[in-house]
Amino acid sequence: MKKIMVIGYGAMAQTVLPKLPLDVKLGWVVVMPQDIESTRKLVGSDVEVVSQVSQITGVPDRVIEMAGQAGLRAHIFDLIEKGLDIGVISVGTFADSEFTEKVREEAKKYGARVHVLSGAIAGVDGLASAKVAGLDAVIYQGRKNPRSWKGSHAEQLVDLDAITEATTFFKGNAREAATLFPANANVAATLALAGIGMEETKVELIADPSMNCNQHKILAKGVFGEMEIVMRGVPLENNPKTSMLAALSVARFCNQLDDSLIV
């Protein structure tokens, strides 16, 4: 029996954990101190619920972060020092180049492996492969219903309640997008890491009242040829900022824990 740890126990974690394979068990949950008691009631007495990685007993076979950028920053270096295998969904945190370099250096020092999960999109493997020969351009377009942008920096740029047609409210690069929209633009950071970097990856964010899903469009050109991928993902029912496919990418990471043939 393999045992995993999760950082954060919000909408995504509660979607992922029922999809664990039978031979993978939840052993530890790390949450904010004020959430410990309520989380214990949800996960049961067999699961250790703590607020710091240093408080756990035993060693997880795999760790999955689903706590947002602040949660990742708070715990990743404690996880790395334990030499753990870590899956990261809050990829926008890597828009901070100093943080990213420190993660690389510390992971190498302690023998940890940090996996950037594919999240809400497909094609990351193809983009990373194309990068080997050389990429000329990567453009990401994120299109969501205005209500899915509420609570984000979009409210400072456009009146979301007044939108009646598709409106592009942000154009910039992946670093800017991931910094300004930490809960919405993990995809931009993932594409930047896989492709031509934070500055060169162009991002357009769109509020479209006709959308009943979250749409991600990826355009790439390079020596390999051209790529165009459109994903229309159903958002999580209890968190419309997050695509269900992002949660399923975490479940896939867990399902691969004991596989000998990895696709």
Give the DSSP H/E element, type plus range, for residue 16. Answer: helix 11-16
Please indicate if the annotation marks 67 as binding a ligand. Answer: no
Q: Say which residues have a Cβ less than 8 Å from residue 70's Cβ, sequence separation at least 6.
A: none
Q: Directed axis angle between helix 124-133 and helix 186-194, to 10°?
A: 30
Catalytic residue among 75, 115, 153, 216: 216
Give the DSSP H/E element, type plus range, for residue 254. Answer: helix 244-255
Task: For 56, list phi and psi in degrees, rounded to 5.
Answer: -80, 155
70: helix, strand or coil: helix
Q: Say which residues have a Cβ less than 8 Å from residue 236's Cβ, sequence separation at least 6.
A: 11, 12, 15, 242, 243, 244, 247
Give the DSSP H/E element, type plus range, for residue 227. Answer: strand 225-233
Please indicate if the annotation marks 120 as binding a ligand. Answer: yes
87, 57 contact by CB (below 8 A):
no
Does the annotation count 216 as an active-site position? yes
Query: Which residues have a catalytic role annotated?
Result: 216
| Binding-site residues from annotation for NAD(+) | 120, 186
| Binding-site residues from annotation | 120, 186
